[in-house]
Structure 1
Amino acid sequence: MNAASLPASVFVQLARISPAPAGLALLRSALHARRLLLLKVLLVRVHRQRASVGPGALDRFERSWDLLERVERHHPAVVRDVLDYPTTGAWLAGALTEPAGPAFDRLLGHLDNLAVTAALRGGGPLDLTVETPDGLLPLPGVGRLRVAADRVRISADERTARFHPDGSRRAAPAVLTTTGRGRGLLTGRGPGWSAIRPLPRSATRLDDLDPYRVPPGAGGGMAVLAADPAETDHAAWSALWRAAQDLLVRTDPGRAAEVARGVRAVVPVVPHGSRHLGGTLSAAPGAVLTSLPEGVPGMAETLVHELHHSKLATLHELVPLYGPGRDAVHRVGWRPDPRPVAGVLHGAYAHLALADLWRRVATTDGVPTAWRTTAGQQFDDIHDQVGAALPILLESDELTRQGRVFVHHMRRHHVSLGTTPLVAG
């Protein structure tokens, strides 16, 4: 997909933070096209540098590539879903930037996990042995198998897959069963198996298991650490997700649907002391990295805010909105440190979505009075902050032509939010 594939009407909808399904559908198509491109770049690199890749790693990579192609011929939607899962993007980014050597060879081994996941979700016969470094076999978006062995034999038919550590058939195996005919859904049981659990009323996963959910260097200057799966309170996360969705449905049904479709994974991370921490990775759109927010409005805010970072990151890959980074930095109201133009645009876009959210919460009957009052205050602050940031963007020569058009439409939506008096109970 290229910029010519983006209808002007959808571009405007995205700039004005509309939750219309056409925008998210187009961004998903753009994301998939980019994943395929990056995967092809990795294949070309492996072939060109095959002399520097360990023989075992090369054989595994080529076998996994062949398996992925075979599954795609019969189950293209399943393969697409696996490749588009957020952590696949984080893995690809790491593999493409890693110098040749043992670390690169280990990264190549993850293609095994992607191909096996697609094959098991697609169903059908499978009989192969895969390596399990550190005694782990991760299946992205599905779960993780822990074994006391450095390899596992997988035997599967159309409905059931069994995992035999070291090829042994004596020990009781872990088992995965296909439960969603045509949709590639799996459930598991048995020794060493841990599932990535879905959040209520959505396809979103609470992913506390994937090895690439928080890659090294996530957060830039601020260290972001994945939460220990043993400490994940699944009931608390599910309750907060459900309540936040209820709040969004009550105040903005379109946004609620967009969050349910657009957020593919919520990744628990360690808070910074008493501070809540939320973030996204440009390489992994659709994943929200967050510590457990305090309260329902906090969860709704985190989901909306981080989803818009993901949307803008994907759009920028399709239609560049700004040029290469320069030394110029600018003060913004939502952060104490000065930001480059890219940071100003990302922050203004995500905060414009929050201004829209808090305005709706403040003016919706049936929302608790305390929430409405707080939402009104939040709206006032954020609306002013975005209003101060937009001129910085419009006066910058770092925006592309499309970027200037995008910000002009952001400003129009910002102005429209302030035209009706707020009513806070």
Structure 2
Amino acid sequence: MRLDSYTVPQDLLDRLARGGGGAEAAQFLAETQYSKHLLLLRGVAEEGRAEAAFDRLAEIAAQAPEAVKYVIGYPAVGAWAKSTLRALITGRADPLAVAQLGAVAAAAACRAGLRLRVQVPAPGGVITLPSLGQLVLPTDEDQIIELETDTSRCTPLHRIRSADGAIELVVDDLDPHRWPGPTVIDGRLPPDDLRRWRSHVAAAWELLDKHHWTTAAELRAIARVLTPIKAAQSGRDSATSRVTFGTVAMSTPPDHTWLASTFAHELQHAKLNAVLDLVELTLPDERRFYAPWRGDPRPLSGLLHGAYAHLGLAGFWRRQRDSERGLRPHIEFARWRAAALEVTGTLLDSGKLTPVGERFTGLLRRTLSSWMKDPVPPAAAEAAAREADEHRAAWLARNGVTGTAVTGTADRSPSRSARP
């Protein structure tokens, strides 16, 4: 298993900065994340003295490289490896957590159709095989056992395939490392909700494939897992996390159009998270700023994430206007292009962008500025402006300030979507 190093080509970074990138950029970023996961696994093997499990993984890779690559790149594997390596470095590692490297090897062997005997952890009597599901033992004791790979007794993860077979997404509601936020749901996704997910994913993919080709290509290259989370007060929510690249967390979608727009939005977060593993775009800054899509003051890094994500959202509605009747697509486009443009100004005026960050944000702003020339119906423009004014007034009333910047504690939560 070869570990590669990466530098983002300037032309590719520029294309990403403009809001797109397509399949080529998305695939490049996915490859960098695989390399990151492999580096983390090597760190766990060396620091945790788990070389035997890593060697077994390498042996499987020699026979079935794609199966091993799939498991190593699985989002929950990256999250587990990062937290375990951090615990090893600080001397607080749980032996059960280190032994999960054996379960990674077992999952790869199962996907490859190979027989393997390997030591795996069973915290509470449950063995988690990343990307596959769980095995429940007839005991709830914490233990490490020798497992012979066999998925016949495994509680499988649900999978959703598009009608044309172009995409397959895992619905992960079992892996303990599937999502880092407190909104993750307890227990499995209810059957009725799963049916809605299947229906809406199929329709959303058809919409993206027909009218939003770049987003569809990026979805195929990046998205691998859907993780259920609790709905916000608005009745819907979605998010991404830097530690689970390839996962889109969401509450049950209300309809396929919302889901398609959510994919467009969250893929932007995923791309930027991967970019930030390679280059620095912002400098340390204690200030907090107004964001036209959030109710709380945001750090500069959060502003950049929000502007980039809402560029993707505005782009979705810009294209959607050609296939959906009514004012709503025009309102959404008008509101989010203006909101993201406003924030790029805040970013560029902050004095806290790196030279690469200034170039990135400048190109982002150039795209939004060109979109400001696109005509929208007067009623849509008025509605978008009214919604923006109402949001700003509510923000000022909630936060008790009269300016645009306030100070506060750094935000370390996953990137979240404040949807209208």
TM-score bracket for the superposition, by shorter chain length: 0.7 to 0.9
- Provide the rounded CA distance (Å) in 1 between the counterparts of 2:243 and 2:113: 29
Confirm whether residue 197 of structure 1 aligns to residue 187 of structure 2. Answer: no
Residue matched to 2:101: 111
1:12-50, CA deviations, whole angstroms, 9 ceiling, x for partnerless residues?
Answer: 11111224211112111211222222223333433xxxx
- Provide the rounded CA distance (Å) in 2 between the counterparts of 1:153 and 1:90: 24
Between stretches 107-116 and 201-210, larger displacement belongs to 201-210
> Helix, strand or coil for the counterpart of 1:279?
strand
8 Å contact kept, 1:82–1:118? yes
8 Å contact kept, 1:204–1:266? yes
1:96-116, CA deviations, whole angstroms, 9 ceiling, x for partnerless residues?
Answer: 332666753222122121110
8 Å contact kept, 2:225–2:246? yes
Amino acid at match of 1:256: A
How much does 1:385 deviate?
A: 0.6
* Structure 2: tracts of 5 or more residues without a match: 381-420
Confirm whether residue 206 of structure 1 aligns to residue 196 of structure 2. Answer: no
What is the root-mean-square deviation of aligned Cα atoms in Å? 2.4
- CA change 1:421–1:143 in 2 (3 A) is same
- CA change 1:398–1:40 in 2 (3 A) is farther
Confirm whether residue 332 of structure 1 aligns to residue 291 of structure 2. Answer: yes
Confirm whether residue 322 of structure 1 aligns to residue 282 of structure 2. Answer: yes
8 Å contact kept, 2:97–2:121? no
- Provide the rounded CA distance (Å) in 1 between the counterparts of 2:261 and 2:254: 11
Confirm whether residue 286 of structure 1 aligns to residue 286 of structure 2. Answer: no
- CA change 1:387–1:143 in 2 (3 A) is same
Instruction: Report % sequence identity.
Output: 29
Alignment of 1:96-107 (within 5 A): 96-98=85-87, 104-107=94-97
- Provide the rounded CA distance (Å) in 2 between the counterparts of 1:95 and 1:40: 12
Amino acid at match of 2:217: A
Amino acid at match of 1:96: L
- Provide the rounded CA distance (Å) in 1 between the counterparts of 2:120 and 2:353: 48
TM-score normalised by structure 1 residue count: 0.80
> Helix, strand or coil for the counterpart of 2:350?
coil
Confirm whether residue 406 of structure 1 aligns to residue 360 of structure 2. Answer: yes
> Helix, strand or coil for the counterpart of 1:96?
helix
Q: Aligned to 1:248, which of 193, 208, 219?
A: 208
Q: Aligned to 1:421, which of 375, 395, 399?
A: 375
Residue matched to 1:72: 61
1:238-279, CA deviations, whole angstroms, 9 ceiling, x for partnerless residues?
Answer: 111111112222321221222133111110112234532211
How much does 1:376 deviate?
A: 0.9
Residue matched to 1:63: 52
1:54-92, CA deviations, whole angstroms, 9 ceiling, x for partnerless residues?
Answer: xxxx5xx33312211211222222222211111112112
Q: Aligned to 1:25, which of 4, 24, 27?
A: 27
8 Å contact kept, 1:359–1:422? no
* Structure 1: tracts of 5 or more residues without a match: 47-57, 156-160, 163-173, 176-189
Between stretches 117-126 and 377-386, larger displacement belongs to 117-126
Residue matched to 1:144: 134
Confirm whether residue 124 of structure 1 aligns to residue 83 of structure 2. Answer: no
Residue matched to 2:346: 392
TM-score normalised by structure 2 residue count: 0.81
> Helix, strand or coil for the counterpart of 1:98?
helix
How much does 1:351 deviate?
A: 0.2
8 Å contact kept, 1:19–1:255? no
How much does 1:421 deviate?
A: 1.9
Residue matched to 1:166: none
